[in-house]
Structures are given as structure tokens and as C-alpha cells.
Amino acid sequence: MLAATSSQFPVIPAMILLPFAGAALIGLLPRSRGDLFRPVALLTAVATGVLSVWMLVGFEDVARFQFQVNQPWISDLGISLHLGVNGISLFLIVLTGLMFPVAILGSTPSHDPKPYYAWLLVLMGASVGVFAAMDLVVFFVFFELVLVPMYFLIGLWGHGRRVYAATKFFLYTMAGSALMLVGIVATGILHQRGTGGPLTFDMVAIARDQVISRPATLWIFGAFAVALAIKVPLVPLHTWLPDAHTEAPTAGSVILAAIMLKLGTYGLIRFGLYLFPDAAVTLRPVLLTLAVLGITYGAVVATMQKDLKRLVAYSSVAHMGFCVLGIFSLTVQGIEGSVLVMVNHGITTGALFLLVGYIYERRHTRLISDLSGLQKSAPIMAACFTLVMLASVGLPGLNGFPGEFLSLLGAFEGARWWGVVAVTGVILAALYLLWAYQRTFHGPATGENARMKDLRPGELMVLAPLLVLIVFLGLYPAPMLERMEPSVKALVAHVDRNSDGFTAVERRYVGPAEAAEREGEGG
């Protein structure tokens, strides 16, 4: 086995357990040692991040799941702690490892640091678990577990209508995940019926066998799609997002945008395409339409926002629309682009939320109308904001571009008319972001705005890794593409093989599909 050398150390369980252990340690520290919580949290998060980078280095460019761990959990139900990464989940885990230290460094809680850092670390461990889970039940366990810390982060340390936002967030996701639980159980049982073998919830086995009847997969896919569409969020189910993002504390917004939304799109790739390729192909028009709706609607609504944070929140709706568009274009480019958008949206929107958080800390307002001319009083911040904003718009050379471009390219190949409409979203993105930038940073600086302090070196240091990545990944996304390409190709080949009425749109692009097929496990 090629991966034998790198799978000696159980890196994934370590990345899940380390944050939990950190949270437990913080829980055990006495309240009087308030000075210790932040260093412990930071140390744990950084250590986890380092592990994720170590994993990135050790990852091989093949489609196979790597760093696999398989430990029986509930043996009579065939549930096992099966964890692993492939080219698609790898970068999301690395993103988790990157964004949590940034979020911890980037802001401090207004009160009660002990539970704050403990919840953040629980959130981190659970997020890694979601991305690494290869067993449906284990996925569900982590997916649910993610909810609780986020609920408390928003509700305890948020702004304004924080309790309302937290409850709304929790209930929306809960409603979806209850349906998903039924879907998961149904998947396991129908798979058992189909194969006649033992009950299993292992994703690889279920995806390989494809024994569930067509009508059943449509229903199950529907259940999954609703749960995941809430998380993404796709348009009619998105209303929790603006509230949650706006009222959350800065770290919460960063994590929400960077990590939590990706749970949805990642889930769509894993469960939508990988488990139920046929259903995904059948229901593709619905999801594509919702994606395009999200892109345009998110952009239009973002334009109208008076609150800077809410504007960024709606821009997330639009960006995630590109993600879904890319996924359901069912082309290699589209899916690659979609994964790129996931990662890069995490970086840029995380940075945007940090910047908005800094403005709020200084000015105690997020209303665009209250801000103006900040460029003069805070030139460094303005420079950072410009860079991040342009990345978010999708300027070539910055990291927003390759993902969006590939998604659209894929869409033109696979779903032309949806692609055509989606392009308008790019234009609108430029409109709302540039306009917002113009209103806040240009113009005359009056009153408070003129006296606003610029970024401190510490804050700049927090932003620095994100800024570097924005430029680096914009200029040179190849390392990412190389690592995800085998997995994505195998996935597209898998969809192609297992679906009626769909042939991987441009087979000519999928030259190495056969090679990927020979690799065995796809997805």
C-alpha cells in the first residue's frame, strides 16, 4: 500500500480528539485562571492546524481515501468509526485547521472566556469529524454535534438579537437533520436489503454497491438535500443565515462562513453525488435552479443591505450558489471549481468578517451609512479590505477567481443556461462589494470616522496568513487542483457509471476516468 507510510500515525483521530481534550482541559481549569484559557485554546487549535498541514504534506495525489482509520463502534448495527480523507475533504480539513486559530486570535470574547474557548474547541473537533467521517452515522453524529457549540457561541457572545438568531439557526438545522437521520437509516437498511449482506453504514460500500432502487434513492436524496440545502444555504431555506451571521460574535461569523456552510456543500458532494449519483442526476435541474436563484438573489439582496455584516452574509449566499452550481454541473471542472470556491470563500469571507469585526470594535456600528472616509484614518485597513474585497469579487490573480471561473466553466459544459444566468451574479458581486467599499472607505471622513484607529500590528498578523493565501492561491492554485483532481475525476466517473441518462458531459475532458476507475474507491 502506498499510503502505508503516512498512515502509521492516526492523524485524523488525533485532530478530532485534540480539540476535545483542549476543551475538557479548559473546562477543568478554575475560573480564576482567566489568563490561561486563551493560550490553551490557541495552542490546541494551532497544534490541530499543524497536524492538518502535516496531513496535507503526506497526502498522495490519488483518488483513494487516505489516512484511513476503521474501528467498530456499534458492531451489531454495522456502525464503525471509519475516518479518512480524499482530495475533496483534504482541503476542507486544512481550512478548518487554519481558520480556527485565526478566529481565536482574531477576536476576544466580551465576557466568560472559559466557556467561549471550550465551545470553540468542541466546534473545531466536530468540524474535522464531519469532514473526515466515512460512516453515515458517524457523519450524522458530528453534523449534529456542530450545532450545539455554534448555538451557544451566537447566543452567549453575539450582538443584538442574538438569542433569536441562535434559536433560528438551531431549529432550521435541526429540522433538516432529523430528516437526514431518517434518510441515513433508510440508506443503511435498503442497502442491506439490496445486498443481502450485513447492515453497514459505510459510505464506500454503499456507494460502490448502488443497490438501492431508483424511487427510494430519489426520496432519500431528497431528505439529504433538504438537510444540506439548509446548511449551504440554498435560497428558500437560507433565512437563518443573515441573522446568524450578523448577530454572531466575530469568531462565530468567521467559523460560520468559513467552515459551517461548507458542511452543506461538502455533504452534497458526498451524499448527493457519491452515494446517489442517479438521483443526483435526476434532480439536478432543481438544485441547479436553486443555486442560480441563490447567486442572483443573494447578490441583489446584498446590494440593498445597510449593515456591512449582513451584506457579507448575503454575499455568502451568492458564493455558495456558485459552489452548488459547480457541483451539479457534474463536470470535473465544475466540481474542482466548487471545492476551490469552498476553500477560498472560507478564506476571503473569514477575512471580511474579521475586518468588519475590527471596524465594529472601533466604531460600534456596522451601518454603512454611519461609516465614510475610513481610508484616510485607517489606510492599512483600507488596503487589506481592498485586497480581500477584490478577492471576493473574483478578480483574476486573487483566490476568488479560479474557483468561480472553473465553476462557471463547468456549468457552461454541463448546464449551459444555468451558467448563463449565473454569470450575472459575478457582475452583481462586483457591484455590491465595490459600492459598499466606496461608501465606507471613500468620501469625506467626518467625526468619529476621522479619528478611527488603524489596524494594530497584532491584528495585521492575524490577517497576514489569510492575505498571503489570497494572493498565493489566486496566482497558483495548481497545488490544490493537483491534489483534488484524481478524487474529482473518480467521482465524475462514478456518477457517469452509475446513472441513467447521463454521460459525463464532456468525456474528452475525462481522459483519465478509466485510470481513476482502476484506482477503485472514488468520490
Partner 1 sequence: MTALLAQLAPGNFRAPTLDFHALAPEIVLLVTLVVLVLLDSIKLERARASMPAVTNIGLLAALIPLVTLAADGGTRVMFGGSYVVDPMSLVLKALFIVSAYVVVLLSTNYVAEGDYWESEYYVLLVSSVLGMVVMASSRDLIGIFVALELLSIPAYMLAAWRKGDVRSNEAGLKYYLMGVFASAILLYGMSLVFGVGGSTRLVDIGLRLEEIGTEGVPVVTLALVFVLIGFAFKVSAVPFHVWAPDTYEGAPTPVTAFLAVASKAAGFVALIQIVYFCFIVRPDIIQPIFFVLAVLSMTVGNLIALRQTNVVRMLAYSGIAQAGFMLAPFVVAGELPVQSRQAVVIYLVIYAAMNLGAFAVVIAIARKTGSGEIESFGGLFQYMPGMAVALTLFLASLIGIPPLGGWYAKFSVFKVLVEAQTGLGWATAIVMAVNTAIAAYYYLRVARAMWFDDAPDGDTTPVKVPAGLTAAVTLALVATLVFGVLPGLLSDLTSFQPLALGG
Site residues for partner 1 per CB under 8 A: 73-77, 115, 137, 140-141, 144-145, 147-148, 151-152, 155-156, 162-163, 166-167, 170-171, 174-175, 178-179, 181-182, 185-186, 188-189, 193
The DSSP bridge partners found for residue 82 are 70
Give one DSSP letter per residue of 2-57, joined into a string: GGGTTTSS-HHHHHHHHHHHHHHHHHHS-TT-HHHHHHHHHHHHHHHHHHHHHHHH
Q: Which residue, 216 or 434, is less far from partner 1 as judged by CB?
A: 216
Which residues have C-beta within 8 Å of that of residue 136, sequence separation ≥ 6?
184, 187, 188, 201, 202, 203, 206
Strands (E), 31-187: 66-74, 79-85
The span from the CA of 260 to the CA of 252, in Å, is: 10
Residue carrying the nine cell digits 451609512: 369
Tell the smallest beta-carbon distance from residue 185 to partner 1 (Å): 5
Tell the smallest beta-carbon distance from residue 298 to partner 1 (Å): 25
The span from the CA of 294 to the CA of 318, in Å, is: 5
Q: Which residue, 5 or 75, is less far from partner 1 as judged by CB?
A: 75
Tell the smallest beta-carbon distance from residue 39 to partner 1 (Å): 22
Tell the smallest beta-carbon distance from residue 163 to partner 1 (Å): 5
Q: Which residue, 39 or 72, is less far from partner 1 as judged by CB?
A: 72
Q: Which residue, 232 or 347, is less far from partner 1 as judged by CB?
A: 232
Tell the smallest beta-carbon distance from residue 112 to partner 1 (Å): 8
Q: Which residue, 171 or 304, is less far from partner 1 as judged by CB?
A: 171
Burial (Cβ within 10 Å: 0-12, 13-18, ≥19) of residue 458 = exposed
Give one DSSP letter per residue of 175-231, joined into a string: HHHHHHHHHHHHHHHHHHHHH-S----BHHHHHHH--S-HHHHHHHHHHHHHHHHHH
Tell the smallest beta-carbon distance from residue 134 to partner 1 (Å): 17
Interhelix angle for 87-106 vs 11-28, to 10°?
A: 20
The span from the CA of 2 to the CA of 360, in Å, is: 50
- Which of 237, 228, 238 minimizes the C-alpha distance to 270? 228
Residue carrying the nine cell digits 483513494: 64
- Which of 167, 183, 185 minimizes the C-alpha distance to 247? 167
Which residues have C-beta within 8 Å of that of residue 303, sequence separation ≥ 6?
428, 431, 432, 435
Q: Is 442 helix (H, G, I), strand (E, B) or coil?
A: coil
Tell the smallest beta-carbon distance from residue 355 to partner 1 (Å): 27
Q: Which residue, 191 or 262, is less far from partner 1 as judged by CB?
A: 191
Tell the smallest beta-carbon distance from residue 453 to partner 1 (Å): 31
Other beta carbons less than 10 A from residue 189's beta carbon: 13
Q: Which residue, 78 or 334, is less far from partner 1 as judged by CB?
A: 78
Q: Which residue, 119 or 358, is less far from partner 1 as judged by CB?
A: 119
Other beta carbons less than 10 A from residue 158's beta carbon: 23
Burial (Cβ within 10 Å: 0-12, 13-18, ≥19) of residue 447 = exposed
Q: Which residue, 228 or 371, is less far from partner 1 as judged by CB?
A: 228
Tell the smallest beta-carbon distance from residue 166 to partner 1 (Å): 8
Tell the smallest beta-carbon distance from residue 294 to partner 1 (Å): 23
Tell the smallest beta-carbon distance from residue 206 to partner 1 (Å): 15
Q: Which residue, 157 or 405, is less far from partner 1 as judged by CB?
A: 157
Q: Which residue, 190 or 421, is less far from partner 1 as judged by CB?
A: 190
